[in-house]
Structure 1
Amino acid sequence: MKVLFMGTPDFAVPCLESIIKSENNNVIGVVTQPDKPKGRGHKLQPTPVKAKAVEYNIPVFQPETLKNRSFEDELKQLNPDIIVVVAYGQILPEYILNFPKFGCINVHASLLPKYRGAAPIQWSVINGDTTTGVTTMYMAKSLDTGDMIQKAEIQIGDEETAGELHDRLSLIGADLIVETIKKLSEGKAIRVPQNDSLSSYAPMLNKETGHIDWNKNSSDIINLIRGTNPWPGAFTSYKSEIMKIYKAYKGNTNTVGKPGEIIGIKNKKIEVCCGNSSSILIDEIQFKGGKRMNVSSYLNGHSIDIGEILN
């Protein structure tokens, strides 16, 4: 099977490498986003997918846009049997969707139709889900609405962060896409339409997504901390200074205090009152310009004022 791979971030790399190493598949090209300047020197950095493609000497294409049939000549020259798309970063126009014999196949990090959109991993954790997974599907004009082919379901760990879940799902997706390509090549892939009435949307996160509302209960706040770790990071304000919170645990369920009030230091963790008389124990923090560290380490050189209200 001649495969054209379209992807950009770290999540897509295991899928690309899995296809490269699989039997009876030949990755004839990789399409990824243009290099972007990073770091203090603003040097152009390749996308993770480009770096992996270069490692395997696979031709790389980085079009600024796919609109107006701008990639049509290259597509005809490559003539792929199938296009695999994993977090590419642009909407594919119809001339690309309709080109390959076996279709454009997407790897999506949720159990569709739940969590269509850009941030399914983060929202599954923020919303306190206990299961999630990966879906392979035919791509359609609308976002994440195409017929499904295969699913793989996993449990979300009680303390698992979005970053940790991201890494697990990327490996599961890598196995699943190879299985899906095999089924397609053998004519054994079954199209399963999505039930739109069961769909939900997972919008892209922004920095404000991580702002903690202390009126919520401890479970919701801990889920937000997990779901925004590593980015954008859950945060609050301590004495007008931004404090990011990366790890916390449930405290008591019968605390006395105002939401956001620091009510004590317990087991070298900061105990903060939440809604419904619950509390959390903050274990890992970072202040602006400082290092990310355990509260126990922070307390070695700093103090935390009991009674201060976080907001």
Structure 2
Amino acid sequence: MRLVFAGTPEVAVPALDTLLSSARHEVAAVVTRPDARAGRGRKLAPSPVAERAAEEGIEVLKPAKPGDAEFLARLREIAPDCCPVVAYGALLPKRALEVPRHGWVNLHFSLLPAWRGAAPVQHALLAGDEVTGASTFRIGEGLDDGPVYGVVTEEVRRTDTSGDLLTRLALAGAGLLGATMDGIADGTLEPKPQPAEGVSLAPKLTVEDARIDWSAPALRIDRVVRGCSPAPGAWTLFRGERLKVRALAPDAEAAPLPSGELRVGKHSVHVGTGSQPVALEWVQPQGKKPMAAADWARGLRLADGARLGE
């Protein structure tokens, strides 16, 4: 089939590579978000998908909005049979959806109808899901509610961050998307409507969602830290400034501590929660690089009784 691939971040690149390597399909063009400012210099830079397409000499389309007349005209000229999508980052209007005869097929990182929305992996971790996965479905005008072509499952590991889990799902999902394109081309794969039961939503996480409540149980705090890593980054207040908590671990053997209170050892830092204490492993003070929690405490000469969250 003749394809136009839509995607933007690094997590979409494995799927693009899978389609580029297929002898059965031609990636005629790539659609991605416009260049964005990045890095310390805040210079405009192309998306990872745009960079990968440029390496292959593939046409790159960067519409400000996918409903722009100029973009739609060019899409019709290219005349794709299907438009596979991975984390493109913009809503597709009906006029765009109608161009390819096999529609736009999205690779979504959840087992639909669970976790429809922008942050499915983060919400799966926050909810404590033991198994998640990826789904391919035909995009309609609703939120991730189109009929599903196929799924792959992935076990959630005890120490997974959203970044860890998303990396694995991107690789497994790339194979699923390739197989979905093959099935559509063969006429052997028909999408099935999503069940009405089991729907859950996964809106984009805000900075406030990532704030740690030390009165919550240790298990909940652990999920917040892992689910919000690498972005938006779990955080707390310390002496009136934000302190990001990059990693921690519940410690069932630690002596009890009041919520938010620190116990500082030579090589360890514990903080009290609503249940058992947790051991801080990596933190990032405002304006500084991540560091081991013990080094952070030693540098500030912290003593028992110091508090987080205020």
**TM-score (norm: length of structure 2):** 0.95
- Between the aligned partners of 2:37 and 2:237, the Cα distance in structure 1 is 31
Q: Secondary structure at the match of 1:243?
A: strand
Does the 8 Å contact 1:69/1:95 carry over to 2? no
The Cα shift of 1:89 comes to 1.2
Q: Please give the alpha-carbon distance, in whole angstroms, between the structure 1 residues aligned to 2:298 and 2:283.
A: 14
Maintained 8 Å contact 1:255/1:273: no
The equivalent residue for 2:142 is: 142
1:31 shift after superposition: 0.8
Task: Please say which of residues 238-247 and 209-218 is displaced more in the overlay.
Answer: 238-247
Note the C-alpha offset of 1:70: 4.2
Cα distance, 1:116–1:253 mapped onto 2, change above 3 Å: farther
CA distance in 2, matches of 1:215, 1:300: 25
Instruction: Measure how far apart 1:37 and its partner are.
Output: 2.3
1:308 aligned onto 2:310: no
2:27 matches 1:27: yes
**Is the Cα–Cα contact under 8 Å of residues 257 and 277 in structure 2 kept in the other structure?**
no
2:300 alignment partner, SS class:
coil
The aligned residue for residue 201 of structure 1 is: 201
Query: SS in structure 2 opposite 1:133?
Result: strand
Distance 1:96 1:250, change over 3 A: same
Distance 1:188 1:143 in 2: 26
Unaligned residue ranges in structure 1 (runs of 5+): none
Counterpart residue type for residue 273 of structure 1: G
CA distance in 1, matches of 2:280, 2:178: 41
Amino acid at match of 2:306: E
Give the whole-Å Cα distance in 2 for the aligned partners of 1:160 and 1:191.
31
Task: Quote the Cα distance in structure 1 between the aligned partners of 2:210 and 2:118.
Answer: 16
Aligned to 1:54: 54
Moved more, 231-240 or 20-29: 231-240
Q: Distance in 1 between matches of 2:175 and 2:121?
A: 18
Structure 2: 5+ residue runs without aligned partners? none
Deviation at 1:253, TM superposition (A): 7.2
* Paired position in structure 2 for 1:214: 214
Q: What pairs up with 1:33-182 in 2 under 5 angstroms? A: 33-67=33-67, 69-182=69-182
Query: TM-score scaled by structure 1?
Result: 0.95
Greater displacement, 250-259 / 162-171: 250-259
Contact 2:8 2:48 in 1 (8 A): yes
Counterpart residue identity of residue 307, structure 1: G
Alpha-carbon spacing, 1:254–1:271, altered in 2? closer, same or farther (3 Å): closer
Is 1:9 paired with 2:13? no
How far apart are 1:206 and its partner, in Å?
1.7
**Does the CA-based 8 Å contact 2:269-2:294 persist in structure 1?**
no
Farther-moved stretch of structure 1 (106-115 vs 203-212): 203-212
Distance across 2 between alignment mates of 1:195 and 1:255: 47
Paired residues, what number? 309
**Contact between 2:67 and 2:95, CA under 8 Å: does it hold in 1?**
no
Rounded Cα–Cα distance in structure 1 between residues aligned with 2:113 and 2:42: 39
Counterpart of 1:310, as a letter, is L
Q: CA RMSD in A?
A: 1.6
Does the aligned pair in 2 maintain the 1:261–1:272 contact within 8 Å? yes
1:269 corresponding residue in structure 2:
268
